[in-house]
Amino acid sequence: MPELRKDPIIGRWIIFSSERAKRPSSYNSVPERNDATECPFCVGNESHTPTEIISYRDRASEPNQPGWTLRVIPNKYPALMVEGDVTREPKGLYDRMNGVGAHEVIIETPDHNSDLTDMADDQIRNIFWAYRERMLDLERDSRLKYIQIFKNHGEAAGASLEHSHSQLIATPIIPKRVAEELAGAEKYFNFKERCIFCDIIKQEISDQERIVSDFDSFVAIQPYAPRFPFETWILPKSHQSSYVEMSDSDYLRLAQCMKDTLLRLKKALNDPPFNYMIHTRPVSKKSQEYYHWHIEIIPKLTKIAGFEWGSGFYINPTTPEEAAAYLKEIKL
Amino acid sequence: MPELRKDPIIGRWIIFSSERAKRPSSYNSVPERNDATECPFCVGNESHTPTEIISYRDRASEPNQPGWTLRVIPNKYPALMVEGDVTREPKGLYDRMNGVGAHEVIIETPDHNSDLTDMADDQIRNIFWAYRERMLDLERDSRLKYIQIFKNHGEAAGASLEHSHSQLIATPIIPKRVAEELAGAEKYFNFKERCIFCDIIKQEISDQERIVSDFDSFVAIQPYAPRFPFETWILPKSHQSSYVEMSDSDYLRLAQCMKDTLLRLKKALNDPPFNYMIHTRPVSKKSQEYYHWHIEIIPKLTKIAGFEWGSGFYINPTTPEEAAAYLKEIKL
């Protein structure tokens, strides 16, 4: 059973994942890369993964067999486990709880060599739709407080398998980073009676200098104070606190905006490793006036070193204005 | 002039460092490694660095000439600049300020091929003494609120030069990570009327299972909820809120404890890249009952991926109890 432990000073929770346990000697070994024949995410290898949760497939095909265009499966090495109760207990002055949650993998395409920038708009839309389906299903489990959807692309960004996929981890507490964003947005709302994200979007559209692209219902911007060079945020222009509040037709528009942004980053930065993360309201909360869901995309270009770990400051060598100008000029 | 910008939602400050500016095309190139002949930190190359601030050297030798055992110099590519006033100003709904501060490099040894585990105890003591000297000097500058001392060892941990060195960055605001630790420790003190770090040390010495070594005035532990595998903290056993409150004789003991810890990590993990960071009270504050300085050492063994960036959670594959048992068994 995985275990959650709380840092007693700053209150950050850590997941100790027994399924992912490593011997000290294995830390500095080079990971093996697999090709399509042995890739568990490839067509024909469905038996190498846990039983699928949902799939989009030909009507004539059977679950866990070929014929699919997208599969969602439980992670074979889950950070958190679906079974069990959330029990909190003390250990002297420390706090721990059982590692209850969900950890799923969204296999985005049957094609081993394709990434989001190669896919048809409809296929990307299906990925975003699958996120929604899984969120709506997991939101009914009262043990779960937050659903974090994210993608790791490239080994340096933490992807252990090449085949294009994203992941979902549902946690029994609201994560620290999310709680900070909620608290900051609520404080602003209490003072201004407006959503800070809506205000940011208005200012950015008026300033123009940090806009990368404007896609009807969505805007892609370089934020004013990004941690990383070329960090890009995609936000819905209209106020929505949760990803699942998006209108059905907007999933295709979001797919188009994401593809455009990732293509620009790929061409500008020579296919950089990157992560994207969906930030949405916690499942336990109702629709909120002060929070606004969005996607953060962070290319992995710089190293996090002692100053950043010690202080929580980040040093960014490229201003968002320079990055936006550069990305806007890319010919697609 | 570098610029500080504040994230409007969570209040984190970012440093935009004009001296370290990069063209987009330079991000994915392989950094050049330099050898001892061209290393600016080596003996004989003193003219390749900015003028030294302090040095420990033979009485017969001249500043900025050979004859030194340790030099402190301004960083040639400073993240923050010493000249100028701290002026805050709005930019629409955003906040910015001038990048005023200090950025120094402690060249720890004249020997290009030596690291902390090869040095004599006295030499390591000199490094820790130099940190103290620079802190005491910079604390007199009222523009500076915090002094972050840190070391990056190995390219993956962010070291751009091989020659053993550490760095100091003094910032015009109290960094977010430090503010969180102070707030957490103060909250505990208000409730318990005891320092949380002192309580942790007592519990760890009683439990024994996370102790790596016990050095008279210092203890090296695996914390209860570490972000990273083999993360190790060194704490003074007696209550001290600032690094500079340490007694003169303890600098040598700290050197011995640090060398022992780094040797264990080096042998256990095949000379891993690592960072260490000194956490001490802000310069603007007087001695505090609730805060306790310490050093955090984080080997770079795992990758930070989308889940961590999105949520602020960390997944750690090795429990601190396993890591402590392993490190304790290492033959030195």
DSSP state string for B80-106: SBSSS---EEEETTEEEEE-B-EEEEE
pLDDT attached to residue B21 = 73
For residue B327, what are its two tokens? 């490190």
What is the C-alpha separation between B73 and B53, in angstroms, rounded?
Answer: 5
- Cβ of B252: how many Cβ atoms within 10 Å? 16
Task: Tell me the three state secondary structure of residue B192.
Answer: helix
Average pLDDT over residues A35-59: 92
Phi and psi torsions of B74, nearest 5°? -65, 145
What fold is seen in the domain B177-329?
HIT family, subunit A (3.30.428)
Checking if the pLDDT of A236 tops 60, the result is yes
Which residue in the set A91, A158, A203 is minimally distant from B305, CB to CB?
A158
For residue B301, what are its two tokens? 């063994």
What is the C-alpha separation between B281 and B186, in angstroms, rounded?
Answer: 12
Contact A7 B93 (CB under 8 A): no
pLDDT attached to residue B287 = 80
Checking if the pLDDT of A79 tops 80, the result is yes
Q: Which of residues 15-44 of B touch A (CB under 8 A)?
A: 15-17, 20-22, 24, 27-28
Q: Is B231 on the interface with A (CB under 8 A)?
A: no
pLDDT attached to residue A288 = 87
Every domain range in chain A assigned CATH 3.30.428.10: 3-175, 177-329
Mean pLDDT, chain B, whole residue set: 94
Q: What is the pTM of this model?
A: 0.96
Instruction: Tell me the CA distances in angstroms from A20 to A25, B229, B230, one per residue in order.
Output: 14, 12, 15
Residues forming beta bridges with residue B81, ordered by sequence position: B100
Give the residues of chain B that fall short of pLDDT 70. 28-36, 285
Q: Which of residues 56-85 of B touch A (CB under 8 A)?
A: 79
Checking if the pLDDT of A32 tops 60, the result is no
- Cβ of A139: how many Cβ atoms within 10 Å? 16
| Catalytic residue status for A103 | no
Q: Which of A118, A304, A279 is nearest to A229 (CA)?
A: A304
Q: Is A228 on the interface with B (CB under 8 A)?
A: no
Give Cα B126 to chain centroid, integer Å: 16
What is the C-alpha separation between A316 and A327, in angstroms, rounded?
Answer: 17
Contact B15 A92 (CB under 8 A): no
Given pLDDT bands bounded at 50, 70 and 90, which one contains residue A20? confident
- What is the residue-wise DSSP string for B301-321? -S---HHHHHHS-EEESS-HH
Min Cα distance B301 → chain A (Å) is 6
Residues forming beta bridges with residue B297, ordered by sequence position: B232, B276
What is the C-alpha separation between A168 and A104, in angstroms, rounded?
Answer: 5
Min Cα distance B149 → chain A (Å) is 8
Mean pLDDT, chain A, whole residue set: 94
| Residues contacting B85, CB < 8 A, separation 6+ | B98, B100, B143
Burial A248-279 (b: 16+ CB within 10 A, else e): eebbbbbbbbbbbbbbbbbebbeebbbbbbbb
Which residue in the set B203, B269, B315 is minimally distant from A15, CB to CB?
B315
Contact B304 A301 (CB under 8 A): no
- What is the residue-wise DSSP string for A24-56? GGGTTSPPPP--TTT-TTSTT-GGGSPPPSEEE
What is the C-alpha separation between B43 and B46, in angstroms, rounded?
Answer: 7
Which residue type sits at A69?
A: T
Which residue in the set B6, B16, B150 is minimally distant from A307, CB to CB?
B150
Min Cα distance B233 → chain A (Å) is 13
pLDDT attached to residue B85 = 87
pLDDT attached to residue A35 = 63
B-chain residues within 8 Å CB-CB of A158? 303-306
The 10s digit of each residue's pLDDT in A86-131 is 889 999 999 999 999 999 999 999 999 999 999 999 999 999 999 9
| Residues contacting A168, CB < 8 A, separation 6+ | A102, A103, A104, A105, A106, A131, A134, A135, A138, A147, A148, A149
Give CATH superfamily name and number for A3-175: HIT-like (3.30.428.10)
Every domain range in chain B assigned CATH 3.30.428.10: 3-19+35-175, 177-329
**How many residues can be counted in chain B?**
332
Name the CATH architecture for the domain at B3-19+35-175: 2-Layer Sandwich (3.30)
A-chain residues within 8 Å CB-CB of B92? 203, 207
Predicted ipTM beyond 0.90: yes
The 10s digit of each residue's pLDDT in B143-179 is 999 999 999 999 999 999 999 999 999 999 999 999 9
Percent of chain A with pLDDT over 70: 96
What is the C-alpha separation between A283 and A274, in angstroms, rounded?
Answer: 26
For residue A188, what are its two tokens? 């602003």
**Nearest-CA residue of chain B relative to A19?**
B317
Q: Is B143 on the interface with A (CB under 8 A)?
A: no
